[in-house]
Structure 1
Amino acid sequence: MAALIDLVDPLSWLLMACLVVLAAFLQGVGGIGFAMLVAPIAALIFPQLVPGPLLALGGSVSLLAALRERQHIVPNVVVCALGGRAAGSLIAVLGMTQLPIAAVNLGFAFAILGAVALSAWGLRILPSTRNMILAGIASGIMGTLTSVGAPALAIAMQNLAPAQLRASLGLILFLGASLSLVLLMLVGLFSLQQAMLSIVLYPFMLLGFALSGQLRHQVSLPLMRRLLLGICSISALVLIARTLWH
């Protein structure tokens, strides 16, 4: 473990630990935010975390959110999204050796910004069967490639009640992240060393989630919707900047 930590300078470890606490807090309050906050920064200063370790951490905090409010899970939404997520994950794993990731990242980032703009201008996006399958496919592709799979799902589910969104999205993200990790392991893209990175940061994820326990009840539906669209927009913009920078 010490040798693993020595691979990264202490300042980077401290920054990533603080980000994991904050991201887990956001995930516990709003249902999304973990990978969206951590992944772009990790890709620049701590690339060992992307995508496998962040999928493991994000999947774990998503499971905690789903279990905490399991009575609010919407089964039909979860089933449709998971079907799309499975297809998207397979497409991503196949594409990781065939397609330029930069082009995929830019395409999805601009698609997310377009969906956010339509939502902000009043388009009412409902979690229908078609919308959830399409959102699941997009989530599977982006989640497997970059560990950020929540924006498409969050936009499709933005009009659910806050508790329903947190619980349903949490279950989708946990099962989707688990599938992505299995596929990454099968093709040799998730190593034991990367798994150890997840374990080292796990206590910070638990701390952030614990801090979200009380505040989640104080978030209203309009505020939740603005929070979701704001985080999705920032995530897409950072993804574009990161892609163009590289």
Structure 2
Amino acid sequence: MIDWPVVLGLGAALFAGAFVQSSIGFGMAVVAAPFIVVFAPDLMPGALLVTSFSLPVVQLGLAPVDIAWRSLSWALLGRLLLTPVGVAVVALLSVRSISVIVAVLILLTVATSLTSIRIRNTPGTAVAAGSLAGITGTATSIGGPFLALVLQHEKPNRVRSTLAAFFLLGAVISTSALGIAGEFTQHQLLSGLAWIPFILLGYAAAAPLRSRLDTERLRRAVLGFCVVAGVSILLRAFVF
């Protein structure tokens, strides 16, 4: 039985997440997942993955499209190969264990990007980012920070377009795999569909910001939200 007041109340978190993702290219799951885990953990990760279809479609349909096809192709290959591991994680590990692993990986990636070591956009780094997203995106719906870090020095519109395509196709891969494994429920599907209007409103509210972001501001925003992602997931694991 779906608790519709809770589901609709969580629409506010999806609105905020869509606002963030529409502005910098990713962040919807980062913002919304902690609230969903607290108030409706049975909807994770399937319901949030459903929302990964809607916003990218709007972004790719209405905004200028500039996709880094080579990076996208390598990242999708990595995601396809490692998605079965993500499904196994959902089936075998606890939410706390998954959360800690994801948070540590995100924070280590941010720490690396802040050192003198430059994360270059290469086939190897794109495959690695996609592989990590195959695991974490399937298990927790949070897979964007890894590829965002690889793309952080690209033009803002290229980052947003490439991530939108990655989220769309990655959601297809992950939900299909979860469905085959019996880990994707009808309740998750219906709840995810109910959040779509909130996501569209968040996209519309972010429109004035999209044209004002330059590359360096985008990079700082990406790194900042990666930190938020890691810290929020750790709090979810150890506090909630």
Per the shorter chain, which TM-score range? over 0.9
Determine the structure 1 residue equivalent to 2:125. 131
State the Cα deviation string for residues 64-92 of structure 1 (Å, max 9, x = none).
Answer: 22333453111101100000111121111
Determine the structure 1 residue equivalent to 2:149. 155
RMSD, aligned CA: 1.8
State yes or no: 1:37 paired with 2:31: yes
How far 1:100 moved relative to its partner? 4.9
Q: Distance in 2 between matches of 1:194 and 1:31?
A: 24
Q: Could you say if the C-alpha distance between residues 164 and 85 of structure 1 is closer, same or farther in structure 2, counting changes exceeding 3 Å?
A: same
Q: Distance in 1 between matches of 2:10 and 2:95?
A: 24
The within-5 A match list for 1:160-199 is 160-199=154-193
Kept in 1: contact 2:50–2:193 (CA 8 A): no
State the Cα deviation string for residues 179-214 of structure 1 (Å, max 9, x = none).
Answer: 101111111111222211112221111111122223
State the Cα deviation string for residues 98-152 of structure 1 (Å, max 9, x = none).
Answer: 4455334323311211221221234321210000000000011001101111111
Equivalent residue pairs, number: 240
Q: Could you say if the C-alpha distance between residues 222 and 15 of structure 1 is closer, same or farther in structure 2, counting changes exceeding 3 Å?
A: farther
Q: TM-score, normalised by structure 2?
A: 0.92
Q: Could you say if the C-alpha distance between residues 17 and 103 of structure 1 is closer, same or farther in structure 2, counting changes exceeding 3 Å?
A: closer
Determine the structure 2 residue equivalent to 1:52. 46
The one-letter code of the counterpart of 1:109 is: A
The within-5 A match list for 1:85-164 is 85-100=79-94, 102-164=96-158
Q: Distance in 1 between matches of 2:68 and 2:163?
A: 9
How far 1:244 moved relative to its partner? 2.4
Q: Which moved more, 1:133-142 or 1:45-54?
A: 45-54
Q: Taking every aligned residue pair, what percent have the same amino acid on both sides?
A: 29
Kept in 2: contact 1:125–1:159 (CA 8 A): no
State yes or no: 1:73 paired with 2:63: no
Q: TM-score, normalised by structure 1?
A: 0.90
Q: Distance in 1 between matches of 2:31 and 2:97?
A: 21
User: Structure 2 stretches of 5 or more lacking a match?
Assistant: none
Kept in 1: contact 2:65–2:157 (CA 8 A): no
State yes or no: 1:17 paired with 2:11: yes
Kept in 2: contact 1:74–1:168 (CA 8 A): yes
